């Protein structure tokens, strides 16, 4: 496999793993294990751990290494001599040579899920096997779950590694739990998530169906496709499937929808303010260039005057925005605006006079209002050419599109 095994991926901290990707890998593992457990007769893996999970180029996970697997032809199995598997991932009933069934693999999955989310090794405090076995079986010791882990994921861990096998969910039950958790971390804004869930879309939706549903939800009517913000939204949300077709299909990816809606929330706060008005305010500034990586920003700013700048997003960084600009020395620099829907905007600025750092923060501002605050401290003077407004306004009259009375620059 191009990316080796899951242990290698988790230990390589140069590889960025979003919570969505982590949970997607856990779901892949659960799907593979569910296939084994649903076989006739059921197959128990007995050694589920990150080294036995292969990762392909797209970070899809495949269950492998069935050297210790066994076929369950009776309700329970009992180990007679040696206990197969790796101790750190063994359930209490395996460690004590009790009766086992498929739920011993579920326990192992709970530890693997913890390892995926934390990127840490479980139980580093134990060196002695007997002490470890006593801690797991008698004292019910389990890995500490960080507060940053979503409650739904924490619940899955705790249920999976429960001391009682009958309390642990099956992989068939875990799969929809993981799907829901993926949705929660992908689309954090509650109204947007409900909109997506209510329409029963999975990983993606056809733009045709999505646009009809969104237009109806926002009360925009048939004029929506002609609106510049609608065209920008389509550009930001969709990818093209089957490009060789006469009429290729545009699809909205769940991940792109979550990223855009979490940045330009709310989906619908009131009749007069929603994601479209928020997006229109932003593109009307003339400095918003949409999704763009560092290299693209530098190419666009190359040779520009001091103070020329643009604001962009990146698929690799959740929520945040980046200001790319030409500084006083003619260098192109990049500075991140930290953003979270519940916490607002913040950025670290350095005073030219004292060289001291300070934080500019606002929980109430929209993105245009926050960038306007930064005009003086960051010397943001000239919006860079090539913005989304320019790209999508070539065939549209602009006079009616600008928000009257709004002066962000």
Cα angle, residue 306 at apex, residues 303 and 308 outer, rounded to 5°: 80
pLDDT (average), residues 293-300: 95
Does residue 401 lie within any of the structural domains? no
Same domain, 313 and 380: yes
The percentage of residues in the chain with a pLDDT greater than 70, rounded to a whole number, is 88
| Shared-domain flag, residues 290 and 275 | no
Residues 81 and 208 in one domain: no
Per-residue pLDDT, 7 = 96
**Same domain membership, residue 295 and residue 199:** no
Residue where a domain stops, chosen among 280, 299, 328: 280
Least confident of 43-47, 144-148, 321-325, 404-408: 404-408
Summarised one tens digit per residue, pLDDT across range 100-122 is 999 999 999 999 999 999 999 99
Is residue 407 a part of any domain in this protein? no
Domain closes at, from 157, 186, 215: 186
Pair of tokens at residue 304: 């520009």
Please tell me whether residues 168 and 69 are part of one structural domain: yes
| Same domain as 371, residue 270 | no
Residue 310 lies in a domain: yes
Cα dihedral 233, 238, 243, 245 sign: negative
Please, what is the Cα angle at 234 between 402 and 27, to 5 degrees?
Answer: 135
Q: Are residues 219 and 354 in the same domain?
A: no
Q: Using alpha carbons, select from 213, 193, 300 the residue that is nearest to residue 254.
A: 193
Tell me which long-range contacts 154-161 makes (C-beta under 8 A, separation of at least 24). Answer: 156/110, 156/113, 156/181, 157/110, 157/113, 157/114, 158/110, 159/110, 160/106, 160/107, 160/109, 160/110, 160/113, 161/91, 161/107, 161/110, 161/111
Residue 60 lies in a domain: yes
Choosing from 280, 308, 323, the residue where a domain stops is: 280
Q: Is there a domain that residue 406 lies in?
A: no
Give the structural domain span for 208. 190-280
Quick one: 171 and 66 in the same domain?
yes
Q: What is the pTM of this model?
A: 0.80
DSSP3 helix / strand / coil % (the chain, rounded to 5): 40, 15, 45
**Residues in CB range of 115: below 8 A, 6 or more apart:** 10, 50, 121, 122
Phi, psi values for residue 173, rounded to 5° = -80, -30
Q: Is the pLDDT of residue 267 over 80?
A: no
Beta strands in 99-236 (DSSP E): 99-100, 204-206
Task: Please tell me the total count of domains within the chain.
Answer: 3
The pLDDT of residue 320: 87
**Statement to judge: residues 169 and 96 lie in one domain:** yes
Q: With the CA atoms of 79, 130, 52 and 10 taken in that order, what torsion angle do they form, in degrees rounded to the nearest 10?
A: 160
397: in domain: no
Average pLDDT taken over every residue of the chain: 88
pLDDT grade, residue 316 (50/70/90)? Answer: low
Active site residue 12: no
pLDDT confidence bin for 270, thresholds 50/70/90: low
Q: Sorting pLDDT into bands at 50, 70 and 90, what band is 279?
A: confident
Q: Is the pLDDT at 227 greater than 50, yes or no?
A: yes
Taking only the tens place, the pLDDT of each residue in 62-105 is 999 765 555 554 454 454 444 445 899 999 999 999 999 999 99
Please tell me whether residues 368 and 290 are part of one structural domain.
yes
Tell me the CATH number at 36.
1.10.510.10
Could you tell me if 316 and 203 lie in one domain? no
409 domain residue, yes or no: no
Listed range (81-85, 173-177, 200-204) with the worst mean pLDDT:
81-85
Which one from 19, 47, 105, 262 is the annotated catalytic residue? 47
Sign of the alpha-carbon dihedral angle for 123, 129, 134, 137: positive
SS3 110: helix
Helix (H) or strand (E) holding 154: helix 151-160
For the domain that residue 310 is a member of, what is the CATH number?
A: 3.30.505.10
**Is the residue at 1 inside a domain?**
no
Closest of 336, 333, 330 to residue 370, by C-alpha: 336
Q: Are residues 261 and 292 located together in one domain of the fold?
A: no
């Amino acid at each position: 496999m191009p990316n080796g095994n899951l242990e290698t991926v988790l230990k390589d901290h140069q590889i960025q793993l979003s919570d969505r990707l982590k949970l997607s890998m856990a779901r892949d593992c659960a799907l593979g294990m569910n296939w084994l457990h649903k076989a006739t007769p059921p197959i128990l893996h007995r050694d589920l751990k990150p080294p036995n999970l292969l990762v392909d180029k797209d970070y899809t996970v495949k269950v492998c290494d069935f050297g210790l697997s066994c076929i369950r032809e009776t309700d329970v199995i009992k180990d007679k001599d040696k206990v197969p598997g790796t101790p750190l991932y063994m359930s209490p009933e395996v460690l004590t040579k009790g009766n086992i069934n498929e739920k011993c693999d579920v326990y192992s999955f709970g530890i693997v899920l913890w390892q995926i989310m934390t990127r840490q090794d479980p139980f580093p405090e134990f060196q002695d096997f007997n002490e470890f076995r006593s801690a797991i079986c008698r004292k019910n010791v389990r890995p500490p779950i960080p507060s940053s882990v979503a409650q739904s994921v924490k619940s899955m861990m705790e249920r999976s590694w429960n001391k009682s096998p009958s309390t642990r969910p099956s992989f068939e039950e875990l799969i929809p739990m993981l799907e829901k958790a993926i949705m929660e971390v992908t689309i954090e804004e509650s109204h947007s998530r409900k909109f997506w869930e209510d329409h029963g879309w999975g990983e993606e939706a056809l733009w045709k169906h999505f646009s009809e549903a969104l237009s109806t939800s926002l009360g925009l009517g048939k004029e929506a496709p002609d609106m510049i913000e609608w065209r920008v939204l389509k550009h930001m949300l969709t990818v093209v499937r089957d490009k060789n077709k006469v009429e290729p299909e545009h699809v909205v990816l769940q991940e792109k929808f979550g990223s855009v809606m979490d940045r330009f929330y709310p989906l619908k706060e009131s009749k007069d303010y929603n994601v479209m008005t928020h997006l229109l305010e932003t593109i009307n500034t003339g400095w918003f260039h949409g999704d763009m990586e560092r290299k693209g920003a530098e190419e666009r700013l190359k040779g520009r005057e001091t103070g020329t700048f643009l604001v962009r997003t990146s698929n690799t960084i959740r929520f945040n925005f980046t200001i790319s600009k030409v500084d006083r020395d003619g260098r192109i620099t990049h500075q991140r605006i930290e953003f979270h829907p519940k916490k607002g905007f913040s950025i670290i600025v350095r005073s030219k006079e004292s060289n001291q750092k300070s934080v500019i923060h606002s929980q109430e501002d929209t993105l245009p209002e926050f960038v306007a605050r930064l005009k003086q401290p960051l010397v943001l003077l000239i919006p860079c050419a090539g913005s989304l407004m320019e790209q999508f306004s070539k065939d549209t009259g602009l006079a009616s599109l600008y928000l009257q009375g709004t002066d962000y620059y």
